[in-house]
Amino acid sequence: MSDVKKVVLAYSGGLDTSVILKWLQDSYQCEVVTFTADIGQGEELEPAREKAGKFGVKEIFIDDLREEFVRDFVFPMFRANTVYEGEYLLGTSIARPLIAKRLIEIANLTGADAISHGATGKGNDQVRFELGAYALKPDIKIIAPWREWDLLSREKLLAYAEQHAIPVEMKHKAGGSPYSMDANLLHISYEGRALENPADEPEEDMWRWTVSPEQAPDAAEYVDLEFSHGDIVGINGQAMSAATVLAELNRLGGKHGIGRQDLVENRYVGMKSRGCYETPGGTIMLKAHRAIESITLDREVAHLKDDLMPRYASLIYNGYWWSPERTMLQTMIDASQASVNGWVRVKLYKGNVIVVGRDSETDSLFDSTIATFEDDAGAYNQADAGGFIKLNALRLRIAAKLKNRSSN
Amino acid sequence: MSDVKKVVLAYSGGLDTSVILKWLQDSYQCEVVTFTADIGQGEELEPAREKAGKFGVKEIFIDDLREEFVRDFVFPMFRANTVYEGEYLLGTSIARPLIAKRLIEIANLTGADAISHGATGKGNDQVRFELGAYALKPDIKIIAPWREWDLLSREKLLAYAEQHAIPVEMKHKAGGSPYSMDANLLHISYEGRALENPADEPEEDMWRWTVSPEQAPDAAEYVDLEFSHGDIVGINGQAMSAATVLAELNRLGGKHGIGRQDLVENRYVGMKSRGCYETPGGTIMLKAHRAIESITLDREVAHLKDDLMPRYASLIYNGYWWSPERTMLQTMIDASQASVNGWVRVKLYKGNVIVVGRDSETDSLFDSTIATFEDDAGAYNQADAGGFIKLNALRLRIAAKLKNRSSN
Amino acid sequence: MSDVKKVVLAYSGGLDTSVILKWLQDSYQCEVVTFTADIGQGEELEPAREKAGKFGVKEIFIDDLREEFVRDFVFPMFRANTVYEGEYLLGTSIARPLIAKRLIEIANLTGADAISHGATGKGNDQVRFELGAYALKPDIKIIAPWREWDLLSREKLLAYAEQHAIPVEMKHKAGGSPYSMDANLLHISYEGRALENPADEPEEDMWRWTVSPEQAPDAAEYVDLEFSHGDIVGINGQAMSAATVLAELNRLGGKHGIGRQDLVENRYVGMKSRGCYETPGGTIMLKAHRAIESITLDREVAHLKDDLMPRYASLIYNGYWWSPERTMLQTMIDASQASVNGWVRVKLYKGNVIVVGRDSETDSLFDSTIATFEDDAGAYNQADAGGFIKLNALRLRIAAKLKNRSSN
Amino acid sequence: MSDVKKVVLAYSGGLDTSVILKWLQDSYQCEVVTFTADIGQGEELEPAREKAGKFGVKEIFIDDLREEFVRDFVFPMFRANTVYEGEYLLGTSIARPLIAKRLIEIANLTGADAISHGATGKGNDQVRFELGAYALKPDIKIIAPWREWDLLSREKLLAYAEQHAIPVEMKHKAGGSPYSMDANLLHISYEGRALENPADEPEEDMWRWTVSPEQAPDAAEYVDLEFSHGDIVGINGQAMSAATVLAELNRLGGKHGIGRQDLVENRYVGMKSRGCYETPGGTIMLKAHRAIESITLDREVAHLKDDLMPRYASLIYNGYWWSPERTMLQTMIDASQASVNGWVRVKLYKGNVIVVGRDSETDSLFDSTIATFEDDAGAYNQADAGGFIKLNALRLRIAAKLKNRSSN
C-alpha cells in the first residue's frame, strides 16, 4: 500500500462504502474524510453522517449539490440534445464529474493526498471519477478498492462487514437487491443480476420512479415549458430554478409513465452491458428542446450540432467532462443557444411526450409567408428553384455524361 | 417553350396532375406518356388509366413498385437508423428517387425527351425528382409546371380545369382538403393550410393511418421481429417479403397509435416548414433495428454509423439518393450489417414501442460472463482498468501540471 | 430592369468594371457609387478615383482595408489550419466576405438600394459576394451584370467600350492577359485560357509573386516567428501588425520560391476548375502554425480541429463566412487558440519551408521527462500500458472469439 | 511468470531482441520461435538466422513481405490520402499490423501459445502489435519484456548481454546510436536522445535516406506516374509491382531531397513525442494521388473522404488496422477509387514535388467546355446561378430580417 495520509471517500452510507471506509482505515492506516452529496437521489443524508461518525471520521462533508448539478451539468448537456448510442440519456454519466470536482475541492480543503470511490473495475464510473480527478489535480492519489482488494464476491463483503461490526441491513443478508442501482435528479438506473440476459423483459416491480404506461392516468395532461437560452426556466407560467424544473418534470413524467428505457450499451472499458433507466424529466426536456430549436435555430447550425452530438455524448459517457475538448465543444454549443428562446407545449399521456405547439416571440425563424402553399405575394420566387437544382445537379450530370460516353 | 416532342408525366389521376397533363399537351404541343405507380399510397390506380385515356394518352404505364420500394429504398435507409433532424423518418424523401428512376426508364422505353412532375417550386420534392433524373439521364428535359405556369392559386387552377372540361371532384370545389397530403408504404404526410401555425395542435381528424393513443387498445401486444443482415424478414415467426413486412408493421402500429409526428423541419430550399407524419411501421422498425444492432454491432462500428447518420439523412432528404456520395456511404452501411442477425421483441401499447427482448444466436457480442457483477472466473482483470485510466488521463495530467505551474 | 435608384459598385478601375459602371448607368438609369479597396493587391488606387470621376460618379469610396483583411479574416482562418481539398489556401475566397461587408456598409452610408460586382456567373465569387450581402442586408438588390447582359464575349465587351468611349489599354486590344488574375495580401491567382488544360504545365513567366525554386537563392534563410493566441505577432524578434506580418512573409516566401500551387478544384457551382496560386506568406504561416500547435495544443483538441477543418474550409470556399455556422465554428476555433503561444523557427530554401525548432515558455505540453527513452524516474509507469491495451482490445477479442466459435 | 510453452518472437537480430530472446528462454523456460521479416528496412536478414541458431532456436522464420506490405497495407492507406495530425505519413504505424498478422500466422503454424516483441511500454508500437494480435487470435498470450523486466536502462541491458555472452557490437559499447530508428519500405524514423528537445534542429548527418535539398541535383527531374484504381502501377511508362513502385519512388525522392519531416506528434498513450522521418516515395505518392483524384473524383465523394481521413489516420496510428471500423472505412475508401485512373506528371527538384500535369482518358470529370471563360455554347446557363444563390441565401435572409426587426 502506498503512503497515504488522508483520503476523501465518496461515501453513501450504504454497505459497500461503509466496508470501504473501514478497509481504507485498516489497509492504509490513514485518516478518512467522508463526502456525501445530495444530487437528488432521494435518500436521506443524515444517517451517513452518523455512520461516518461511528467509524471515527472527524471531517464529514454533506452537501446539497442539486442546483449546481442541474444548472452546470444537466442543462449544458441537454443543450446539445445529447443521447448516447441513439437511446441513453446519460443520467449516470453526467453526475460523476460533479462528484469528482467536489472530491478534489474537499481534498484541497482538508489537505488530503488521496481520494477513494466505490466504483467497480468493470464499469464506466471508475473512469469518470478518476479522469475528472486527475484533470483537476494531477498528482492526486486515487484508491479504487474494488480494483485492489480481494472482497470480490458478495459473500466475502458480508463476511468482512460482520467481522468488523459494520451494520448490515436485513435486505443485504437476504441476498440484496436483484439490481445494482444508482440515482440522481436526472435518473435512476438498474443493472446486473436479474437483468443480465438481454433477451428477458425486466420485472414490472423493478421500476421505481415511473408508473407503467398502463397504470398512468387515462387523461392526458398539457404542460407549457418556457425556454431561455436553451434551458427550461419555467413550467406552466411559473419561473423555477434549474433543480426545481427537473424535479417537477420528473413528477409529471413519472405520473404519466414517461422515460423508461431498456438498453444494451457499449461501455468504454470494452464490453456490452444491459441497463434499464428511468429518466422522466429528461425525456420531456429532450423532446421539448428539439422542438424549440426547430423554430429558433438556423438549419446549418442545427445540423452541425447534430453531426457533433454523438461525439459530445461519447465524451460525457467516457468520463471526459473535464477535458479541453469537451470544454471546446461546450463553448460552441452554448453559443448556439443564444436564440433558443420561446415556449413549447407538450401533451403527456401514458408514456408519450407529444409536442403540440411551439413558438418564439423574439427568435422564430419560421416564416409562414414564405412556406405557405397559398399565394405568397412574391416572398419567394419559384423560378429560383430551377437554377438551384440545375447547379446542384451539374456535377451529377457531368459524371453521367462521362459514364454514357464510356458505355458507348 | 422549348422544343419537346414527348414527355413522361408522373400522373396520380388527381386534379393537379390532370391539369398538368392538359397544360402540357396545350403548351408544349407534345405527346404525353403517363406513369402511375403503386408505392403503397393506398389508392386505386385504374381510375388513372381511364382518365389518362380520356386525354388521348396512348402510352399509359401503371406499375406496382411496392416490393422494389421497400427492398431497395426503405430497407437500405433503415440500416443506417436514418432520422432527419432528430425526428423525421424521411417517408416522403425516400419515395422520390424511385419515381425518378422509373420516369427515366419509361423515357428511355418510349423515346421521350422530357419528364414532368407536379411538385411545387417551394418544396423538396422538385429537387429530389430532378436531381435523380439528371443523375440518371443527364440530357433529359424537365418540365416543372408549377415553376412555369401562372396557375399559382387554387382558383386559377379550378378555372383552368373547368375551362378544359377536366372533371373536378366535389371536395375540390368545396375548398379542397385543408392539408396537402402524400402517402406511400412508409408514411402519410400532411402539410400546409391548417398546419401553417406551428403553435397550434393539429385537429385529431387529420390523422388517417393511426388511431390516437387514447383510442388504441387497452391491452398491449407483443411482436417478434426477425432480422437478417439488418432487414426485418419475419414477424412472429412468419417469413415475409419486404413490402409485406412493412404493411404488417403499419397495421400493427396504426392499431396501437404508433408513429405520429408533428414537426418543423428545415427544407433544402431554405425555409422552415411544418409537417405532420404518420409512420407506424417505420417507427417500430427504427426502434427494433437499434435494438438488434445493440447486441450485434461492434461499438466503434456503431459509433461510426451514428456519426455519419445525420449526413446520410441529409443526402436523402435533399434528394441525393442517386449521387456517388450516397452510394459510397451505402456501401459502408451495408457492409456493417453482415452481422445484424437475430430477433427483437417489442411491446406495442398506446403509442409506445417498447423493446423487451433481443438476442442473436449467431452474432451476439453481449458476453454476460464478462459484464457480470458476480465473480467472472477471471474473464476480465479489474486491475487492467487502472492502467487504462492512467494512460487515458496522462494528457489531462500533463496539462493540469502546466496550469498549476503557471498559476504559481 | 427592376427599379434601382442608387447602386454601389465594387470598382477596380479596370476594363471590366468600367464597362459595368457605364452599363449600370445606362441600363438602370441609376446613380452609381464606386468602391475601391486596397486589400494588398499591389495596384495603385488613385487612377480608379479619376476614372470614376470621368463617368460622373459623385460618391467615390477608396479604402485601405489591409489591416482589417489580415486581422479579421486571414488570421482567423489560419487558426484552423484551413486548406480546401487538401491543397488550396483559400486566398481568393477569404477576401470576398470583406468586400461584401464594405459594399453593404457603403450602401447603408449612401442610401443605396443595390450593389453590383464584376464576378461572372460561372464562378464562386458571385456566390461569396452575394451570400455575404444578403446575410448582412437581406433586402439589398444585387446586380450581377455578367448574368444579365449580352456582352459575354471579349469582342462584345471591347465593342461596347469603344462605343461608349471607355478607355481600353493596349494589352486588352492585343488580346488581353492569357490568364484571369486576382490578388490580395494573401495570394495572387491565375485561371482560364492558357490554363484550361490541366495536363499542361503553366508557363514559367505566368508567376508574378515568387521566383521559381531554381531561381531562388542558394543560401537558406532562417526566420523566427512569434505566436500569440495562434496569430503571428512578430518576425525575427520584431513585433508587427497583422498586415505587416503577412507582407513580410510574402517578401521572404517570394524570394525563396515558396507557395506556388497548381490545382484542379471543385467549385461550389458544380464544375471542376484549374487554378494556379502563389501564396508565399500563407504557406509559411500554415506550416509554422501547425508546428506551434504541435507543442501547445491538447491531442484531442487538435484532432477535433482537424476533423472539422475541411467543413470550415468548405464554408469559406462556398461563401458562407457571414453565416451562423461559420461563426459557431469560429467561436470554437478561437477558444482553442488561448494556449497557442510561443515561437517557431523555419528554414526557407528553394521552395521549402522546413520547421527546425519550436518552443513555448508558457504553454508547452511537451514533457521530455515522460517521453524520454532513458530512465524517467517514475514519471510514467510502463506497466500501465498493459491494462490500457487489454481494455482497448476487449471488444476486438470478444468479436474474435465469436468468430472462432462460428467457424468451428 | 505465466505458463508459456512456446513463444514467437519478432526478432531483428539486433542487440535488444537478442537480449529478449535469451531473457524469454531463461525467464519463461519456454521454446522460442524467431520471426524476421524483410519489409524493406534495407538490412540483411541472414545474420538473424545465424544468431537465432546460436541461441538454440529450432524454428526460424525469415520472410520477404515487401510486396504484401506495399500492396495490402501501404497502398490501401494512401488511397485515403492519409496523414496523421496534418503531417505524419504513418510510416511506422502501417508496418505493425503486418508484423502482428505474421506473428499470429506463425503461432498457428508452430503451435505457439504466445508472442513477444521488443517495443517499449511508452510507445505506440506495443499497442499496434498487441491490438492486432488480440484481434486475430483473442486468447494469445503476449509477452512485452520492456513492460516486465528490470533492464530499463541501457547499462543494465549491456550488462545482461555481457553476462549471457550475447555479442554486442562496438557501436553499442560506445554509447549506441544517438537515435532510436525504425525502417521499412515506406520510411525511416528517428526518435529519442539527441532529438528530445523540439527547439533544436536535428543534425544533418542524422538523415540516411535522402540527401539534403542543398545537396540534391541542380537539375529538376520529371516523372510520369500511372494510376489504376488509386494505386500507382507504372512509372515513366513502365509497369511495376507495388513494392517496386515504392522502391523506385524512394530512389527518386531520396536523390532529390524529398520527404524529410521533423515533427512533434501526439502518441496514443498520452504523451507528445518528437520524431523525424524520411518518406521520399510516400511524399511523392501522396501529392500525385491527390492530383489524380482532383480530376477523377466527384466533389462530394472527395469531401467525404477528406472529412473522414483524420479519423482513418488515427485508427492506423493507434493500432486499429485489424478492427471492424477500419475495415468498414476501407470498404468505402476502396469503392471510391474505381474511377481513380489516369496519369500524373511530377517535377522533382531539391525537396519539392510539383504537380505539372494530370489527365485521365477514361475518367476525367474535368470539362473545359463548361469551365471556360470563353463562350461555352450554352453548356452552362449563367442565369441559373441567380436562383442557386437566392435559395442558398434564403435562410440567411430570413435570419437577418428577424434580427433587423428585433433591433428596431
Residues with Cβ within 8 Å of A336's Cβ and at least 6 positions away in sequence, in order, are: A79, A230, A297, A301, A305, C324, C328
Digit-coded pLDDT (tens) for A82-129? 999 999 999 999 999 999 999 999 999 999 999 999 999 999 999 999
CA distance C268 to chain A (A): 9
Name the pLDDT band for B228 (thresholds 50, 70, 90): very high
Chain A from 282 to 311: CB within 8 A of any B CB: 290-291, 294-295, 299, 302-303, 306-307, 310-311
**Along chain A (408 residues), what's the average pLDDT of each consecutive run of 10 residues?**
89 94 96 97 92 96 98 98 98 98 98 97 96 97 94 86 87 78 96 90 96 98 98 98 98 98 97 97 98 98 98 98 98 98 98 98 91 71 94 96 82
Task: Return the closest-CA partner of residue A80 out of A340, A354, A330.
Answer: A330
For the question of residue A180 being annotated catalytic, the response is: yes
Give the ranges where A29-136 is alpha helix by DSSP (H): 46-54, 66-69, 75-78, 96-110, 125-136
Q: What is the mean pLDDT of residues B172-191?
A: 88
CB-side neighbour CA atoms (13 Å) of A321: 27
A/D interface, count of CB pairs below 8 Å = 62
Chain C, nearest residue to A328 by Cα: C332
pLDDT of residue C193: 80
pLDDT of residue C202: 96
Residues with Cβ within 8 Å of D246's Cβ and at least 6 positions away in sequence, in order, are: D40, D70, D74, D185, D186, D281, D282, D285
* CA–CA dist C44, C38 (Å, integer): 8
Residues of chain C in contact with residue A320, where contact means CB-CB under 8 angstroms, are 300
CA distance B247 to chain D (A): 32
Enter the C-alpha cell of residue C200. Answer: 499542361
| D382 → closest Cβ in C147, C358, C401 | C147
Check if C370 contacts A (Cβ < 8 Å). Answer: no
Q: pLDDT at residue C68 above 60?
A: yes
Catalytic residue ranges of C = 16, 96, 125, 180
The strand pair at A272-278 and D31-38 is best described as unpaired
Q: pLDDT at residue B193 above 90?
A: no
pLDDT of residue B373: 62
* CA–CA dist D308, C307 (Å, integer): 7
Chain C, nearest residue to B368 by Cα: C398
pLDDT of residue D151: 85
Interchain CB distance below 8 Å, C398 and B362: no
Q: Are A9 and A35 in contact (CB under 8 A)?
A: yes
Q: pLDDT at residue D53 above 60?
A: yes
More confident residue, B1 or D357: D357
Residues of chain B in contact with residue C362, where contact means CB-CB under 8 angstroms, are 406
| C355 → closest Cβ in D262, D271, D299 | D262
Check if C53 contacts D (Cβ < 8 Å). Answer: no
Interchain CB distance below 8 Å, A388 and D390: yes
Task: Return the closest-CA partner of residue B206 out of B135, B275, B283.
Answer: B275
Q: In chain C, what are the domains?
A: 6-65+91-164 (3.40.50.620), 180-297+339-359 (3.90.1260.10), 369-407 (no CATH)
pLDDT of residue C177: 77
pLDDT of residue B408: 61
Known binding positions of C for L-citrulline:
88, 93, 124, 128, 180, 189, 265, 277
Of B66, B102, B116, B125, which is the active-site residue?
B125
| C299 → closest Cβ in B385, B395, B402 | B395
Q: Are D293 and D302 in contact (CB under 8 A)?
A: yes
Tell me the Cα Rg of chain C.
25
Chain A, nearest residue to C332 by Cα: A332
Chain D, nearest residue to B272 by Cα: D395
| C325 → closest Cβ in A301, A327, A395 | A301
E strand or H helix at A162, and its extent? helix A154-163
pLDDT of residue B54: 95
* CA–CA dist C292, C337 (Å, integer): 10
Name the pLDDT band for D369 (thresholds 50, 70, 90): confident
Check if C361 contacts D (Cβ < 8 Å). Answer: no
| D390 → closest Cβ in A370, A381, A399 | A381
ipTM comes to 0.96
B/C interface, count of CB pairs below 8 Å = 62
Enter the C-alpha cell of residue C46. Answer: 488613385
Chain A, nearest residue to D382 by Cα: A387
For the question of residue B16 being annotated catalytic, the response is: yes
pLDDT of residue D156: 87
pLDDT of residue C408: 62
Name the pLDDT band for C305 (thresholds 50, 70, 90): very high
> What percent of chain D stands above pLDDT 90?
86
CA distance A325 to chain C (A): 5
For the question of residue A274 being annotated catalytic, the response is: no
Residue with cell 407545449: A345
Q: What share of chain B is helix, strand, coil (3-state, %, to 5)?
A: 45, 20, 35
pLDDT of residue D2: 65
- Phi, psi angle pair for C35, to nearest 5°: -135, 120
Task: Return the closest-CA partner of residue A260 out of A279, A274, A245, A236.
Answer: A279
Name the pLDDT band for C152 (thresholds 50, 70, 90): confident
pLDDT of residue B219: 98
Q: What is the mean pLDDT of residues B135-141?
A: 96
Enter the C-alpha cell of residue C148. Answer: 444579365
Bridge partners of D37, per DSSP, are D63
Q: Are B255 and B284 in contact (CB under 8 A)?
A: no
Name the pLDDT band for D168 (thresholds 50, 70, 90): confident
Digit-coded pLDDT (tens) for D2-32? 689 999 999 999 999 999 999 999 999 999 9
Check if B191 contacts A (Cβ < 8 Å). Answer: yes
Check if B181 contacts A (Cβ < 8 Å). Answer: no
Mean pLDDT of all residues in chain A?
A: 95
Q: Are C242 and C231 in contact (CB under 8 A)?
A: yes
pLDDT of residue C371: 72
pLDDT of residue D170: 77
